[in-house]
Chains A and B, each alone.
Chain A
C-alpha cells in the first residue's frame, strides 16, 4: 500500500468517524432522572430532569431555580449568558451536572429547554 492509498483510506475513515461522533453527540441525551432518584453518588454526573419552576431568584450573575417534579425538589443553578424569560409554574427540561453545595445536591445547568 503506497502513501497515496493510505492517505485516501485514513481521510475517508476519519471523515466517516467524525460524522458518526457528531451524530451520536447530537442525538444522545443524558439519562432522564426523577429528582428524588438523585443523590450524592451522582455528583459530577451529567443528568436530565424535567419539572415545574416553583420559584426562582435572579442575581447579577446567575438564576437560582427551585425545580419540582412529582418525586421531589432540587435547586438548579444557571449561570447567566443571556436573559431568560422564566415564570413560576413553567415546565422545563434541564441538562446539567450534579454538584454538592453545603450538605445538599444541586444541578448546575448546561442547557435548559423552556
Chain B
C-alpha cells in the first residue's frame, strides 16, 4: 500500500506540473477524466489511491500555476490577480522573486493548515451555519471597499465593476442552446480580462522585459506573518463557501490593509491559493460539502470521507508541498533564463495564440467571442488607468445576486 501511495502521489505531482504550467488546463478537467475512467482505473488502483492522485495534482498545481501567470501573463482561474503584481516585478527583472513569494505563501499555508487542523474541524463545523446566510452581505461590503479605495476615479472603478459584473452574469447563467454552446465559461472570460488584455497592452506599449535576475525578497517577518494570517482567515471563507476563489479572497483580505506592496500581495495570493485546497479537504470532512471540482470528484470516488482519510490527505499535501516548492523554484529559474533571451513580443503573440486556440477548443466559437469581449473590457480598464482588480466584479457581482435572489 505504501508503494502504491508513493507512486500515485508522484504521478499526481507530474499531472500537477502539467496543469499548473499550461494555461487553460485546469485540475478539474483532469479530475473529471479520472472520474469518468474510474471503472477502468479501479481495476488497478484502490479508490483511495485515485483520490490521492487528485490531492497530489491539486496541491502541486497551486504551487506552479503562478509561473505562467507571472512570466506569461496567462492566469489560471483563481489566480487572475497574480498577473498584476507579478507582472510589475517581472518588468523590474524580478520574475523569479515573484514566484518565490507565492511559493513562500503556499508552503507556509500548508504547514499552518496542518498545524491548525484540530481547531479548524470544529470551527468549520459550527461556524459554517452561522456565516452561511451572511455571505452576500460580506461580499457587498468588500465590493464597496474595493471600489472606494480606487484613487484615480471611483466612478470609473464602479463602472468597470458593474460592466464586468454584467458580463459575468451573462456568462455564468448561460445555459446554451442548439446554436450557441459555452463550455467552461470562466476560461475565456478570465483569460480575456486578465490575460490577453494585458499581453495586448504590453505589445502596444512595446514593453521590453528586462534581463531577469535571481533575486530574493527582503521581507519583514511581522509583515509576512500578518499576510499569512490574513490569507488563512480569508481561505476559511473560500474553502467553506461556494463560488469564492482565491482572487476574491485576496481582494477581501487585502482590503483590510491600507497599503499592499506587490511582494506582500503575492505571498497572500500564494497562501490563499494553496490553503483553500487544504481547507476544502477539511470542509469535506467537517460539513460534508465539496467546495471545488477536484474535491467533488474525490468525494464521489471515496464515497465516505473519514478522519483517517483527512489526515492522510494532509500529510500527503505536506509531502507534495515540499517537492512542489522545489519544482516551482527550479522551473521559474529556467523561465528567468529563457525570458531574457527570447523576444517578448513573440512570447506575447504565442501566448495570445495559445489562449485563443484553447478558448476555441474548450469553450467553442461563442467562447472565442466571450474572450474577445473580455479582452476589450480588460484593455478599457488598462487605458482608464484604474486597477484591474475592479474587473473581479465578473465573479463577485453574479455571486452576490445568486445568493440574494
Q: Which residues of A contact B (CB under 8 A)?
A: 3, 6-7, 10-11, 13-15, 17-18, 20-22, 24-26, 28-31, 46, 95, 110
Complex formed: what's the CA distance from A24 to B373 in Å?
A: 13
In this assembly, does B119 line the interface, its C-beta being within 8 Å of a C-beta of chain A?
Answer: no
Contact of A21 among B170, B175, B383 (CB under 8 A): B170
| A30 contacts across to B, CB distance below 8 A | 175-177
In this assembly, does B379 line the interface, its C-beta being within 8 Å of a C-beta of chain A?
Answer: yes
Which residues of chain B in 168-197 are interfacial with respect to chain A, using CB atoms and an 8 Å cutoff? 169-171, 173-180
Q: Tally B residues with Cβ within 8 Å of A.
A: 26
User: Which single residue of chain B is at the shortest CB-CB distance from A26?
Assistant: B170
User: Which single residue of chain B is at the shortest CB-CB distance from A28?
Assistant: B177
Dominant secondary structure at the B interface = helix
Complex formed: what's the CA distance from A110 to B383 in Å?
A: 39
Complex formed: what's the CA distance from A18 to B377 in Å?
A: 9
| Stretch among B15-23, B142-150, B254-262, B364-372 lining the A interface | B364-372
In this assembly, does B204 line the interface, its C-beta being within 8 Å of a C-beta of chain A?
Answer: yes
CB-CB under 8 A for A18 and B163, given A3-B383, A6-B204:
yes
B383 touches A18 (CB 8 A): no
Q: Which residues of B contact A (CB under 8 A)?
A: 163, 166-167, 169-171, 173-180, 204, 366, 369-370, 372-373, 376-377, 379-380, 383-384
Q: List 7 A-B contacts (CB under 8 A).
A: A6-B204, A14-B376, A17-B377, A18-B377, A20-B373, A22-B170, A31-B177
CB-CB under 8 A for A21 and B176, given A7-B384, A14-B377:
no
User: Which single residue of chain A is at the shortest CB-CB distance from B173?
Assistant: A25
User: Which single residue of chain B is at the shortest CB-CB distance from A17?
Assistant: B373
Number of A-B residue pairs having CB atoms within 8 Å of each other in the complex: 72
User: Which single residue of chain B is at the shortest CB-CB distance from A12?
Assistant: B376
B373 touches A14 (CB 8 A): yes
B380 touches A21 (CB 8 A): no
B180 touches A24 (CB 8 A): yes
Complex formed: what's the CA distance from A51 to B177 in Å?
A: 20
Complex formed: what's the CA distance from A7 to B378 in Å?
A: 11
B180 touches A7 (CB 8 A): no
| A6 contacts across to B, CB distance below 8 A | 204, 379, 383
| A13 contacts across to B, CB distance below 8 A | 373, 376
Complex formed: what's the CA distance from A6 to B381 in Å?
A: 11
B175 touches A29 (CB 8 A): yes
How far apart are A19's CB and chain B's nearest CB, in angstroms?
Answer: 9
Contact of B175 among A17, A20, A110 (CB under 8 A): A110
A15 touches B163 (CB 8 A): yes
| B373 contacts across to A, CB distance below 8 A | 13-14, 17-18, 20-21
A10 touches B380 (CB 8 A): yes
Complex formed: what's the CA distance from A62 to B167 in Å?
A: 31
CB-CB under 8 A for A95 and B175, given A7-B380, A7-B383:
yes
User: Which single residue of chain A is at the shortest CB-CB distance from B178?
Assistant: A31
Complex formed: what's the CA distance from A3 to B372 in Å?
A: 19
| A3 contacts across to B, CB distance below 8 A | 383
| B169 contacts across to A, CB distance below 8 A | 22
How far apart are B300's CB and chain A's nearest CB, in angstroms?
Answer: 10
A28 touches B175 (CB 8 A): yes
B171 touches A21 (CB 8 A): yes
B372 touches A17 (CB 8 A): yes
Given contacts A7-B383, A21-B373, A26-B170, 15 further A-B contacts (CB under 8 A): A6-B204, A10-B380, A13-B373, A14-B376, A14-B379, A17-B373, A17-B377, A21-B369, A22-B169, A24-B180, A24-B366, A28-B175, A31-B177, A46-B176, A95-B175
| B166 contacts across to A, CB distance below 8 A | 18, 22
B379 touches A28 (CB 8 A): no
